[in-house]
Amino acid sequence: MRRFIVLLLALMLVQRSVSQDTTILVQALDRLEKALVEKDEETVARLMHPDMRFGHSNGWVQTRQDAMADMRSGALVYKGFRRQALKVHVEGKRGFVQEWVEVEGIRNGTAFSLRIFVLQHWISTRKGWQLLIRQSAKLG
């Protein structure tokens, strides 16, 4: 019986830790989307891993350096993100996010409004959660 209680308590602590990690990861995602809209270079740089690849629904892929340069130049301007649904799974130092979202912005002077599905792979580093891979696909 004593072993059962110890095991139960250990499982509860693991579950609580995963829940906290999930909450922190969602907060990082929210900060990244807000920083992209506000053109907050410092926050974007902190939340994007140096090896990040940012895949867009049209097949265009940006590196972290590309994303930062396009934000600075105005080649890609995000006006807003409106989340429709979100699923998050944390496994150790890796986090996987599925997001259904409406995105508005301007690319090379042309306005866009898209409903997309986004799959993201985040990793937990000494700097906190950082986006490593993002790929989106257009929805209906």
Six token digits for residue 30: 């929210």
Residue 134, domain CATH: 3.10.450.50
Task: Evaluate if residue 9 carries a pLDDT over 80.
Answer: no
Task: Evaluate if residue 86 carries a pLDDT over 90.
Answer: yes
- The count of structural domains within the chain is 1
The rounded mean pLDDT for the chain is 90
Counting residues of the chain whose pLDDT is more than 70, the rounded percentage is 86
CB 37 within 8 A of CB 79: yes
Question: Rounded distance, CA 10 to CA 89, Å?
Answer: 20
Domain span at residue 97 reads 2-138
Task: Evaluate if residue 87 carries a pLDDT over 80.
Answer: yes
